[in-house]
């Protein structure tokens, strides 16, 4: 009993070793359940055991298809997402600093955000063709909204007492922005970027579903149409890894940029 | 106005006018002056415009009419001849104690290294040595307010403005902090204007208590405090102290009761 509670204490503790252990434990759990379900369900169309998926993955890798698809998908996201973040932060900044803009453009942006922009994907593809341009526009538009919203909210949420204290030292508008408003908004912005990252991955897959010559979304659709469940699951797992590593990276970034929020 | 006065408040009136709301006269014809190195406390019921007056002195708010002069110069905006200690936690949560204390100096254009050197002196003066690299949320309420005082003093102001600096602290911490404030002050001997609603605190700390009446705020009476310095806790039981507190209380009792009743209504 003692060793079990000791193990629990370790898993709930802070630190890199415990975090890694937690991750391995949850991955192992998923693999075990997956294997168990696959051994009960006979149809290999519905589910494929983990080992066969791994095999499919290595075949994709050997044939070079995996790398072509990875370059297409990751390349498109790697270019589109930073630009989406830049646009989101800039527009959020503009909205937070101008009451006029917030009142006029704000409702429009809210409306645009509540429209499932993703549903317009076929339209963008019709306009921009099957290549990079349509992927770029779909990913950018879909992933910039959470960043835009959290930037504006974060900048507006700044404690007015902190601003007053800065003003009492005769701080200029720019100094207040740099030393008070922006640091205050930073954790908000990063959490927006985390949400945006998840949406960027959804957007790229949808864009590739509707029209692409390569990419994870293209490969998943092709595998689905040829009933190759092993390949389909292989790419889904790769997407999961991509999402998780992005999320971990932004978590790390938040810890680096906002250390005062850790033990609050 | 004596020749030695460093701060003079001259017929200051402040009217807040908002669209669709009746004008609110917060301060009406307020005049008093503070001598060099003097510690003045302003007391009054809530709604007597004390905090508004302090913000006008600091330059955060403009007066509707009248003027505030520091060393003869009219105040138009915040400046380094004045520094304010606020009631709330106004420390930057992402900066360490040292960086918070250095903040005003850095804003004023000092080099980081120089600002840190000065800040270190004031951190020590505030009894926070060893906590330089702590963040505000790792400190107690009393320690945070000491950082606040050190941050204000670090810019070497001619006048230190204290806006209910201990209001958020519990009674015991407050007592201790009053003593510590006097210790820090005895080293710097800056001119101080303290706003408080606590009469004992005002009498214990100051050379002179300016009693405000409420709605609109105006000076009702100025009461010198003849207690010697350094002040000790025992003085709080002296006859002079008790009778001074009583006198101030009588002056504002009616308004405090009215404010309480309005609060309950």
Complex ipTM value: 0.88
Cα–Cα distance measured from residue B116 to residue B84, given in angstroms and rounded to the nearest whole number: 20
Q: Does A256 have pLDDT greater than 90?
A: no
Q: Does A130 have pLDDT greater than 60?
A: yes
Convert A56-87 to b/e letters by CB count within 10 Å (16 or more is b): bbeebeeeeebebbbebbeebbeebbeebbeb
**Which residues of chain B lie closer than 8 angstroms to A166, CB-CB?**
103, 107
Q: Does B117 have pLDDT greater than 80?
A: yes
- Shortest distance between the Cα of B91 and any Cα of chain A, in A, equals 7
Place B157 in a pLDDT band, splitting at 50, 70 and 90: very high
Q: Does B265 have pLDDT greater than 80?
A: no
Average pLDDT (B106-127) is 92
For residue B230, whether the previous peptide bond is cis, meaning omega lies within 30 degrees of 0, is yes
| Alpha helices in B27-111, H assignment, sequence order | 50-58, 97-107
For residue range A146-164, what is the model confidence (pLDDT) as tens digits? 999 999 999 998 888 999 9
pLDDT at A261: 66
Pseudo-torsion of CA B243, B244, B247, B253, nearest 10°? -110
- Which residue did the predictor score with more confidence, A111 or A70? A70
For residue range B13-31, what is the model confidence (pLDDT) as tens digits? 999 988 778 888 899 999 9
Highest mean pLDDT among A61-65, A154-158, A188-192, B201-205: B201-205
Place B91 in a pLDDT band, splitting at 50, 70 and 90: very high
Q: Tell me where in chain B the CATH 3.40.50.300 domain(s) lie.
A: 5-81+161-264
Determine which of A42-51, A54-63, B224-233 has the lowest per-residue pLDDT on average: A42-51
**Which residues of chain A lie closer than 8 angstroms to B89, CB-CB?**
161
pLDDT at B1: 45
Ramachandran area for residue B38 (φ above 0: left; ψ -120 to 50: alpha; else beta): beta
Average pLDDT (A191-197) is 92
Average pLDDT (A132-159) is 90
Spell out the CATH class of A62-258.
mainly alpha
pLDDT at A257: 78
CB atoms A168 and B103 under 8 Å: no
**Which residues of chain A lie closer than 8 angstroms to B104, CB-CB?**
169
For residue range B158-204, what is the model confidence (pLDDT) as tens digits? 999 999 998 888 888 888 889 888 988 888 889 999 999 899 999 99
B148: nearest Cα among B129, B131, B162: B162
Determine which of A24-28, B210-214, B256-260 has the lowest per-residue pLDDT on average: B256-260
pLDDT at A264: 44
* HEC readout, chain A: CHHHHHHHHHHHCCCHHHHHHHHHHHHHHHHHHHHHHHHHCCCCCCCCCHHHHHHHHHHHHHHCHHHHHHHHHHHHHHHHHHHHHHHHHHHHHHHHHCHHHHHHHHHHHHHHHHCCHHHHHHHHHHHHCCCHHHHHHHHHHHHHHHHHHHHHHHHHCCCHHHHHHHHHCCCCHHHHHHHHHHHHHHHHHHHHHHHHHHHHHHHHHHHHHHCCCCCHHHHHHHHHHCCCHHHHHHHHHHHHHHHHHHHHHHHHHHHHHCHHHCCC
Total count of residues recorded for chain B: 265
- Shortest distance between the Cα of A169 and any Cα of chain B, in A, equals 6
List beta partners, residue B25. B15
Average pLDDT (A78-83) is 94
User: In whole numbers, what is the pLDDT of chain A averaged over residues?
Assistant: 88
Convert B17-50 to b/e letters by CB count within 10 Å (16 or more is b): eeeeeeeebbbbebebbbbbebbbbbbbbebbbb
pLDDT at A1: 57
| CA dihedral for B209, B210, B211, B214, sign (positive or negative) | negative
Q: Does A2 have pLDDT greater than 70?
A: no
CB atoms B137 and A171 under 8 Å: no
pLDDT at A133: 87
Average pLDDT (B123-138) is 90
Express as a percent the part of chain B with pLDDT over 70. Answer: 97
- Shortest distance between the Cα of A264 and any Cα of chain B, in A, equals 7
For residue range B36-87, what is the model confidence (pLDDT) as tens digits? 999 999 998 887 889 999 999 999 999 999 999 999 889 999 988 999 999 8
Q: Name the architecture of domain B5-81+161-264.
A: 3-Layer(aba) Sandwich (3.40)
């Amino acid at each position: 009993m003692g060793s079990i509670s000791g193990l629990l204490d370790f898993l709930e503790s802070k630190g890199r070793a415990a975090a890694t252990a937690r991750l391995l434990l949850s991955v192992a759990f998923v693999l075990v359940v997956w294997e168990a379900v696959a051994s009960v369900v006979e149809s290999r169309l519905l589910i494929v055991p983990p080992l066969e998926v791994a095999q499919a993955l290595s075949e994709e890798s050997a044939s070079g298809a995996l790398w072509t698809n990875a370059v297409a998908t990751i390349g498109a996201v790697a270019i589109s997402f930073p630009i989406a973040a830049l646009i989101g932060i800039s527009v959020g900044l503009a909205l937070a600093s101008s009451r006029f803009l917030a009142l006029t453009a704000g409702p429009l942006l809210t409306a645009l955000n509540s429209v499932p922009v993703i549903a317009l994907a076929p339209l963008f593809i019709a306009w921009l063709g099957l290549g990079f341009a349509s992927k770029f526009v779909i990913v950018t538009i879909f992933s910039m909204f959470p960043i835009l919203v959290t930037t504006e909210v974060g900048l507006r949420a700044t404690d007015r007492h902190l601003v007053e204290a800065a003003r009492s030292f005769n701080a200029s508008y720019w100094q207040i922005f740099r030393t008070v408003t922006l640091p205050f908004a930073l954790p908000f912005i990063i959490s927006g970027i985390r949400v945006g990252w998840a949406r960027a991955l959804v957007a790229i897959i949808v864009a590739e579903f509707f029209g692409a010559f390569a990419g994870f979304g293209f490969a998943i659709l092709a595998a689905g149409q040829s009933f190759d469940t092993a390949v389909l699951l292989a790419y889904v797992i790769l997407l999961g890894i991509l999402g998780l590593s992005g999320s971990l990276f932004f978590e790390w970034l938040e810890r680096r940029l906002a250390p005062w929020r850790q033990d609050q | 106005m004596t020749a030695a006065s460093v701060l003079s408040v001259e017929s200051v009136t402040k009217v807040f006018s908002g669209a669709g709301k009746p004008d609110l006269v917060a301060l009406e014809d307020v005049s008093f002056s503070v001598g060099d190195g003097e510690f003045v406390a302003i007391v009054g019921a809530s709604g007597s415009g004390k905090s508004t007056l302090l913000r006008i002195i600091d330059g955060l708010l403009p007066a509707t009419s009248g003027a505030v002069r520091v060393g003869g110069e009219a105040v138009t905006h915040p400046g380094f001849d004045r520094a304010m200690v606020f009631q709330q936690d106004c420390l930057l949560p992402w900066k360490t104690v040292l960086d918070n204390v250095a903040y005003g100096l850095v804003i004023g254009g000092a080099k980081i290294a120089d600002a840190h050197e000065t800040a270190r002196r004031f951190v020590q003066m505030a009894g926070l040595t060893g906590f330089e690299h702590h963040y505000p949320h790792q400190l107690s309420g009393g320690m945070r307010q000491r950082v606040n005082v050190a941050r204000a003093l670090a810019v070497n102001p001619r006048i230190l403005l204290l806006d209910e600096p201990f209001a958020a602290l519990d009674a015991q911490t407050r007592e201790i902090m009053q003593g510590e404030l006097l210790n820090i002050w005895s080293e710097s001997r800056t001119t101080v204007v303290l706003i408080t609603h606590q009469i004992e605190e005002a009498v214990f700390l100051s050379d002179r208590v300016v009693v405000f009446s409420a709605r609109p705020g105006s000076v009702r009476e100025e009461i010198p405090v003849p207690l010697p310095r350094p002040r000790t806790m025992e003085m709080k039981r002296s006859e002079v102290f008790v009778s001074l507190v009583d006198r101030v209380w009588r002056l504002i009792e009616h308004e405090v009761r009215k404010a309480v009743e309005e609060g309950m209504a």
